[in-house]
Structure 1
Amino acid sequence: MNKILGHHHISMITKNAKQNNYFYQKILGLRRVKVSVNQDDPSMYHLFFGDLTGSPGTGLTFFEIPMVGKTYRGTNAITQIGLFVPSEESLYYWKERFGEFQVKHEEVTTYAGRKALPFEDHEGLRLVLLDSKGEKVPEFWSKWDGSDASIEHQILGMGTIEMTVKNLNKLSITLTELFGYIEVSRTDNEALFQSVEGEGFGEIHVKELDGPKERPGRGSIHHLAIRAKDDKELEDWSEKVKARGFASSGIVDRYYFKSLYFRESNGILFEIATDEPGFTADSSIEELGTKLDLPPFLEGRRSEIEAKLEPID
């Protein structure tokens, strides 16, 4: 039986690529591993941040939409991103760093059974740093020695992702019956699921909340991508998604990985993405994120595309 291996990446909306680039590189200390464009609308940037190589499970990606409005928070949305740090001590390092950079943050607390530090980026995107407690993370996650953050306390990768929906049971059925997630805890209106039992790097925390649907804008989360090992597994998932009655995009070649998109019953957008070939498909590790990279089908339009983009650096 195929198994979802954990999170692959998560994608958000930003109003300003330059400000976004500063926050995630200079404040959070992530590596910018790819500067590209939205392949469906190459007039907008698509920025990718992560570990040394943008490994699956570490990727935060942003679509720049300069005319986007504010987010009106509500239900049926992905509402928070968890990021693992090495230890509880790391949370206090980040709390001090957030104070220095005037980043909106709360006190150290507990979230999904872990010590946690909730904070927001400059556009109101909700994130939370989580103590990994020294637990196993994917062995290919690699720290970046060029980070502005202490290597001892660097962000490792993605942890618990929060979703808020009107119907918890419908999402639960999709996660457990379609994808094989394990439900590890539940109360009247919350549940915690893991793609790999006992491991936080594929964890989804679902809250049930009635009310208006979220209206996305700057600082909102567009979709969560989860991991398929290879093309064959992605084809199998495509058939399974179709058999459950969900309409999908079909398999899309994004050059750095292949993907399948669909919305579950509450309207949450999922992407299933392959691990390979990754961001080194057209760059050396040393060159990652230093120039505008375009997939081959857009390369012939480079001059036109570059003319419409404001320089980031």
Structure 2
Amino acid sequence: MATTIPGLHHVTAISGPPQENVDFYTGTLGQRLVKKTVNFDAPDTYHLYYGDHAGSPGTILTFFPFVDAGPGRAGAGMASAYAYSVSKGRFDALMADLAARAIDFAGPVERFGQRVITLSDPDGAPVELVETDRAADTVLDGFHSVTLWERAPEATARVLTEVFGYEAAGEEAGADGSRRLRYVAPGNARGNVVDIYLSEKPAIGRPGAGTIHHVAFRARSDAEQAEWQKRLAAVGLPTTPVIDRQYFNAIYFREPGGVLFEIATDPPGFTADEPLETLGQALKLPEQHERLRGQIERILPELRVTT
């Protein structure tokens, strides 16, 4: 059985109009739209999944796009940023390419000895790109990390270290007086870094376009997920029952600082209902909504994917 969480499974965020979202993540960032489905709880809204070619755990960023979503704002008690990994051999070329395409970015700045640049997606969400030692065949090699904005780090850090098995990996102070604490899961899985960000500046978080809805960690099997469920209950953090999300099974809980955490299984994966070659091309509906396909297809706007 697992003794540690290996890293992130996916991150889910909220966006505005879906076409702008698709254009940025498939066009600007070169990600593959690996699944086009609907919000299981609100099937008149898309649920879009981006990742590497195979839709591997640790590469998946998902969105609930709402055409009329008001702008959100990150604050304490929310996940505030996700970061992709870029190998050292590709980082300078990536910056040159972004500049040649007139795509603005901030940085580079150094964070824990690694260069970081930050783009803004169409809703103003920060998209961080981190230079790492990972060898990769693609420019973006899945997630590097996620940042949690917390009021007090201690209880959240205990969940990461004493339950999930992460290790404290240092602290840095920002020029604005903020602090960043780093925690790393053993091994070299994608997305095995979690940063806790602390700031004295007043900022009241507001869900909406450009904010993160939840952060999902990996369980490599249903048995591992059941073990995490028991461990969390034992420390006073009971989870939801297991929920079938068609491409993974999920359990949810709020960590002590308020961020919604999920633990999602690797199987069955995104080829459960369509072949690898055509991932993301057809609208896929869960069985309970298939009878509404005609109605749903009339409501959802058509999406164009150009890569």
Whole-Å separation in 2 of the counterparts to 1:222 and 1:60 = 11
Name the counterpart of 1:176: 161
Cα displacement string for residues 110-157 of structure 1 (whole angstroms, at most 9, x for unaligned residues): 12331222221121111111112235x8xxxxx5xxxxxxx5xx2110
Secondary structure in structure 2 of the residue aligned to 1:67 = coil
1:191 lines up with 2:181 in the alignment: yes
Q: Is the 8 A contact 2:59 2:190 kept in 1?
A: no
Contact 2:144–2:190 (Cα < 8 Å) also in 1 = yes
1:6 match: 7
Moved more, 284-293 or 66-75: 66-75
Other-structure match for 2:218: 227
Contact 2:8 2:190 in 1 (8 A): no
Q: Aligned AA for 2:152?
A: N
Q: Provide the secondary structure at the position in 1 that maps to 2:263.
A: strand
What is the identity, as a one-letter code, of the residue corresponding to 1:279? F
Question: Which range moves more in the overlay, 68-77 or 262-271?
Answer: 68-77
Q: Which residue in 2 is equivalent to 1:99? A: 99
Whole-angstrom CA distance in 2 between matches of 1:200 and 1:49: 15
Q: CA deviation at 1:234?
A: 0.9
Bigger proportion of residues as strand: 2
TM-score, normalization: structure 2? Answer: 0.91
What is the identity, as a one-letter code, of the residue corresponding to 1:205? Answer: D
Query: Where do 5+ consecutive residues of structure 1 fail to align?
Result: 138-142, 144-150
Using structure 1 for the length normalisation, give the TM-score: 0.89
Residues 286-305 of structure 1: pairs in structure 2 closer than 5 A: 286-305=277-296
Match of 1:116 in 2: 116
In structure 1, distance between residues paired with 2:112 and 2:121: 21
* More displaced stretch, 261-270 vs 181-190: 181-190
What residue number does 1:237 align with?
A: 228
Q: 1:24 to 1:198 in 2, by over 3 A?
A: closer
Q: CA deviation at 1:187?
A: 5.5
- Distance in 2 between residues matched to 1:187 and 1:93, nearest whole Å: 27
For residues 78 and 269 of structure 1, the distance between their equivalents in structure 2, rounded to whole angstroms, comes to 8
- C-alpha deviation, 1:98, in angstroms: 2.7
SS in 2 for 1:83: strand
**In 2 relative to 1, CA 199–276 (structure 1 residues): closer, same or farther, beyond 3 Å?**
closer
Tell me whether 1:284 sits opposite 2:275 in the alignment.
yes
Q: Is the 8 A contact 2:73 2:210 kept in 1?
A: no
Q: Percent identity between the aligned chains?
A: 32
Quote the Cα distance in structure 2 between the aligned partners of 1:54 and 1:287.
Answer: 12
- Asked if the contact 1:8/1:226 (under 8 Å) is kept, the reply is yes
Paired residue secondary structure (1:166):
coil
Contact 1:194 1:200 in 2 (8 A): no
RMSD: 1.9
Secondary structure of the corresponding residue to residue 180 of structure 1: coil
Q: Residue 116 of structure 2 aligns to which amino acid in structure 1?
A: A
Say how many residue pairs are matched.
297
Using the alignment, how far apart are the partners of 1:59 and 1:258 within structure 2?
Answer: 15
Residue ranges of structure 2 left out of the alignment (5+ in a row) = 174-178
Residue type of the partner of 1:79?
S
Distance 2:102 2:172 in 1: 36
2:132 corresponds to 1:132: yes
Query: How big is each residue's C-alpha offset from its partner over 1:223-278, in whole Å with a ceiling of 9 and x where there is no partner?
Result: 11110011111111112222222243221010100001111111111110000010
Q: Give the structure 1 partner of residue 145 of structure 2.
A: 160
Partner residue of 2:82? 81
Q: 1:65 maps to which residue?
A: 66
What's the offset of the Cα at 1:75? Answer: 1.7
Aligned counterpart, 1:140:
none
